[in-house]
Amino acid sequence: MEFANLKGETLVRAPGSINGESFSIKNLEECSVFILDYSSEVEVSNCTNCQIFIGPVDGPAIFEGCTNCQVAVAGAVFKANNCSNCEFGLYSSTQPAISGCSGIRIACWSGAYPLLTQHFAAANLDPNNNQWNKVYDASASEEGGAPNFELVAEQTPYWEVPLESFGPPENPVPGPTGALYQPAAPAAPAAAPAADEFSFEAAVPAAPAAADFGAELGEGGVMENGPAAAAAPVAGGGMISDDFLAAGGEARAHIPSADAETVPTGMLDAAGTGGEHPRVAAAKQRLQQRLKDQAQQEAEQKAGIQATAAQYLEQFYERRNKGKEERIRLGREALEGKGNGELGPSGANELERILSMVDFNLQRPNGSDLSRFKSVLFACRAKGALPTAAA
């Protein structure tokens, strides 16, 4: 299974579509990727300007040659090689490792989607054993040199991915402070303006502001390509702020690597209190439509398999019935060729009737020799008496 060689796409794998198989993500540009299922291993290579959400991985999650990407990933093993200016919201049950990287920022896992707790269990991952902050840098310079990565110790905003018919988003992994995830409460509807205060301008949401990355995040973390809207982040809620790894959206001074510049994410914040932005609604609608199309495709594949199986069974029974009829025909012909035995016993006495039931000209397929039996019968006939066993 893989996503490969695409640009500007929103790519989704829903729960139950992978079921522990391996997955590959390679050669993507400006794509939003959602792997909302557990897998055995994931390899991500040569991705640029992408947002990537990867559910629990039973084995290694390896990133190779990625640039300017925002990633949420949970796995037993994490390794990044030759990546630059990437941000990782990380769960790793073993010590994470990077090599040949620069401008890397790492925070504690803060992803949430329906069935995530079940997927952690299926991938044999203990939510309480997160080694995200014990990073080993194989390319670290001598003692006292500038690091190639930066740890973000504060709680980051949760990246929620809602899915209809799968239940509410969930996250069993404690945050860096030990706090557990709490789903964001639904926003209260805005009060309607008075009749004399209503204006067209008040009813139209503000135009979106341009962002460096051109990435858009819908309600609950659903992303699509497009300009980002400038709005205040929701503390502890399901949106990702302008700074992907900022603490609750509050301005704070990061300590970046002296060797590499950290590129801001520019991801879309929550819409204003007047309602969700049209682009956010469009992103949600496209995600749900993709899931419906996938379900329809799977149903069509299932119907095709059933039709093929029915056709095979029909042909099988037809061959079986023809074979049965042929065997019956051959058996009847064989019986007709047996001669006297089909006409019943005939003769004046018992010995003659016995002899009439024996076809001495019959050639047995297994080579049975009837000559001795024949000689015994003729000897009895000559003496005019049957053997004691036949009497």
The domain ranges of the chain are 2-182+202-299, 339-383
The alpha carbon dihedral of 233, 237, 238, 240 has a sign of positive
Q: If pLDDT is split at 50, 70 and 90, which confidence band does 181 have?
A: confident
Residue type, 278: P
Q: Which of 132-141, 143-152, 225-234, 369-378 has the highest mean pLDDT?
A: 132-141
The tokens describing 112, both together, are: 């949430």
Question: Phi, psi (5° rounding) for residue 39?
Answer: -140, 170
Q: What percent of the chain has pLDDT over 70?
A: 64
Instruction: Return d(Cα 160, Cα 297) in angstroms, integer.
Output: 26
| Averaged pLDDT score across all residues of the chain | 74
Question: Across residues 174-182, what is the average pLDDT?
Answer: 86
Helix/strand/coil for 24: strand
Give the residue with greater pLDDT, 2 vs 206.
Answer: 2
Query: What are the pLDDT digits (tens) for 51-94?
Result: 999 999 999 999 999 999 999 999 999 999 999 999 999 999 99
Tokens found for residue 210: 């341009």
- Whether residue 220 is predicted with pLDDT greater than 50 in this model: the reply is no
pLDDT at 326 over 70: yes
Output the CATH code of domain 2-182+202-299: 2.160.20.70
Measured CA to CA, the distance from residue 6 to residue 11 in angstroms comes to 10
Candidates 151, 56, 68; CA nearest to 112 is 56
Residues 221-241, mean pLDDT to the nearest whole number: 36
Inform me whether the pLDDT recorded for 211 exceeds 60. Answer: no
Task: Give 42's strand partners.
Answer: 23, 61
